[in-house]
Structure 1
């Protein structure tokens, strides 16, 4: 099944209005007909500037999971996709997004989940997995030592103040190439730039109780990803976690068949 077919056969879409009044959008897909289904659904959390469709549907990850017998739930983080927007940085941060994710899990009455997050979404997933929620398997992609050393996405490689300013700049032609690329990607997706600037200012820095994670965990990253340097440091901080490197940089979520197949195989154990 193609990614386009997967996007057309979304079983249900919905929204949860969380405690601060923000609507969090989600999408559900059922396992393919004729495949023995795993009763535990997979919850997907995308990265910064993206959304469920861009990170998980278009590259074929959702289609691969449903073909493997998995029910899938994709969540648009606040400020992204179809979820609520705001230019107020106080309404953002990965811990707030983890609370949103758990609100969707509660709304759908899911007693246990397998959880996959990429980049910003990996920080969200790690925070959720360190909570009392029941996470059976966990995949943290596109992050590395920064989670341990600076508390989240590695702001040493991509300073959050420069990033926030880039999304509000009147002339993107003056931006450095790496940040200009992120802004161009966001604009291509029709993202709300003030909301992205607000999230950049609110990026998580408070640390995560990685020792509290009980899920079977895979850390996966591109071997040349500047935002996921030394991922073995992160894997070593999570009890029993395994590490997989795939060829490529931070774009592997959309460009690497090995990235997708590794995740699907790990979740299918």
Structure 2
């Protein structure tokens, strides 16, 4: 496990954002999912080492409300456009003009907003664990916020809420921040906005994932998208799957980004 003390920090919107910057070569920016952090989502699953072996400079950060970054307790702080602003500001901080961006679950939603609001910073887009629920459908349910605010895990009876609450307890997360994040980040794009994402996009979703929604339905709304099915995988296990990894490497090579 990487020592969290080795993380670097910069300030954006009065918040401290923690990040890592490893390897050499063409950069890639990684954005983790809800309730996670860069360590769990990208280091522990082998992504950082894999991309470094491929000759990449790998930049990954802890979203606001997560990991070693600042943790506001108000939902407005977690609009995906504001969180995408953190990602763009990190590229500014590192003097990187643009890069391919890979997000998973909530991180994919943030990455999509980044591609829309900061199009010249995103060379290509990898949306993992998020399909048509970027545009319609629920994705992560609002009951997760209630699970975070419950007195204890024993008081949570919703299965998905229990899963996220148990993980938050295990990692010592700020549950008030996570509750605010769920309430503020569940923002969809409309089809017209999705159609404005013109970068090459890979939509990668586990075939047993009930959270993401259809990868094909989302790809049909995007002008330049392809689909990667991750066979037999539910939402969380898909992030470290070898089919996902191989598909992303092939996509990056094909797009030469």
TM-score, normalised by the number of residues in structure 2: 0.90
**Residue 50 of structure 2 aligns to a residue in which SS?**
helix
Q: Deviations over 1:159-189 (max 9, x none)?
A: 21x1111001003113222210111112222
CA distance in 2, matches of 1:264, 1:185: 29
Q: Is the 8 A contact 2:136 2:188 kept in 1?
A: no
**Residues 168-207 of structure 1 mapped to structure 2, 5 A cutoff:** 168-175=149-156, 176-207=158-189
CA distance in 1, matches of 2:253, 2:188: 33
Q: Deviations over 1:142-165 (max 9, x none)?
A: 111111225xxx34xx421x1111
Whether 1:112 and 2:94 are equivalent positions in the alignment is no
Question: Structure 1: any 5+ residue segments left out of the alignment?
Answer: 32-36
**Residues 65-104 of structure 1 mapped to structure 2, 5 A cutoff:** 65-104=51-90
Which residue of the partner structure matches residue 49 of structure 1?
Answer: 35
CA distance in 2, matches of 1:57, 1:16: 20
CA distance in 2, matches of 1:54, 1:222: 18
CA distance in 2, matches of 1:252, 1:238: 26
CA distance in 1, matches of 2:203, 2:237: 14
Return 206-215 or 63-72, whichever deviates more: 206-215
CA distance in 2, matches of 1:219, 1:254: 13
CA distance in 2, matches of 1:167, 1:193: 5
Whether 1:148 and 2:135 are equivalent positions in the alignment is yes
Q: Deviations over 1:96-139 (max 9, x none)?
A: 10011111011111111010000000000001011233311210
Whether 1:230 and 2:214 are equivalent positions in the alignment is yes
Quick one: structure 1 residues 55 and 23, their matched pair in 2 at CA, closer, same or farther if it must change by over 3 Å? Answer: same
Question: Structure 2: any 5+ residue segments left out of the alignment?
Answer: none
**Residue 120 of structure 2 aligns to a residue in which SS?**
coil
Q: Deviations over 1:83-108 (max 9, x none)?
A: 10122222212111001111101111
4+ long deviations beyond 3 Å: none
Whether 1:215 and 2:211 are equivalent positions in the alignment is no
Return 257-266 or 163-172, whichever deviates more: 257-266
- Give the CA RMSD over aligned residues: 1.8
**Residue 133 of structure 1 aligns to a residue in which SS?**
helix
CA distance in 2, matches of 1:93, 1:134: 19
Which residue of the partner structure matches residue 236 of structure 2?
Answer: 251
Q: CA deviation at 1:255?
A: 4.3
**Residue 113 of structure 2 aligns to a residue in which SS?**
helix
Which residue of the partner structure matches residue 250 of structure 2?
Answer: 265
Aligned residues: 248
**Residue 213 of structure 1 aligns to a residue in which SS?**
coil
**Residue 136 of structure 1 aligns to a residue in which SS?**
strand
Q: CA deviation at 1:65?
A: 0.3
TM-score, normalised by the number of residues in structure 1: 0.86
CA distance in 2, matches of 1:268, 1:189: 35
CA distance in 2, matches of 1:117, 1:51: 12
